[in-house]
Structures are given as structure tokens and as C-alpha cells.
Amino acid sequence: MTETPPAPERGARSTWIGQDTRVEGKITTREDICIQGRLKGSVESTAAVLIPEGGQVEAAILARNVTIHGRMTGDVEAIEKAEIGASGILTGGILAATVVVHAGATFEGTVRSRAKSEAKPEPRITPETRAATEERGRTAAGAA
């Protein structure tokens, strides 16, 4: 049975990238963001990032919480929790206080854990990590 991503709370502020939308570049927000389409670049959010089924992301993500039900290539840094749902596919690294990988999920990469108190607001996305993310994307695309 396929999991359904949680709907945003009524009245909550959020940003949506629709399924027929492609974005390339850097997104910085204080709102939750739901990526139903395609995104290549980086995302920094002080809130949550959700990639539902059908969403395709090639990026480095820094957010409070990250939930993946679609496909992602890149590194995830979650201040609180990184979660890969049963339909989720992640190729990349995870750095988070809590990591949840559901049965059926596909994950190829590394996991590093840290206490919430170690969280730093500034991103760790560097030219080196961006280059590694892009290389993983090319490798994953070639294998598909």
C-alpha cells in the first residue's frame, strides 16, 4: 500500500512546485515546500521539505524536516528528521538527528546522526558537495 504524504496544515504557509513545473537554481524559504515537479539545484528551508510520489529532485537540501516519497539524488541535512517513505528513492547522504527509512524504500548512500543541539542554521552546501551531488545524479541517470 502506498503512503500518502501529509497535507499541509490548514492556514499554514507553504510553497508548491507543481507536477508540470521544472525549477533550476537555489530556493531559500521559511515556509514548508512541496516539490511535485522537478527541481535541480539546492533548497534551504527553516521549515519542512516534502517530495511526494512523482517528485524528482537533484539537489542538496537543508531543512528542519525532509520527507521523500518521490526520487531524490543529493544530500539531505535535516535539523530534526529525515524520512524516506516506502515509495521513496534517495541516492545521497543524510545528516539528521532522526532518520526513518520505511520498508520498501530505496536508499543508497551514507547516514550520519547528530544531536539536535548540534544543529547549525548555516548550510553545509559547498562547491565540493554540489559537485558530488551532480556526479551522483549523472551516475544515477546513466544507470536508469
Considering the entire predicted model, what is its pTM?
0.76
CA–CA distance, 19 with 9 (Å, rounded to integer): 20
Q: Where are the domains of the chain?
A: 14-116+123-143
- Predicted pLDDT at 37: 96
Contacts of 16 (CB under 8 A, 6+ apart): 33, 34, 36
Per residue in 118-137, pLDDT tens?
655 444 555 555 565 566 55
pLDDT over threshold 90, residue 11: no
Per residue in 27-81, pLDDT tens?
999 999 999 999 999 999 999 999 999 999 999 999 999 999 999 999 999 999 9
CA–CA distance, 50 with 33 (Å, rounded to integer): 6
Q: Which of 78, 80, 86, 82 is nearest to 102 (CA)?
A: 86
Helix or strand holding residue 109 (H, E) = none
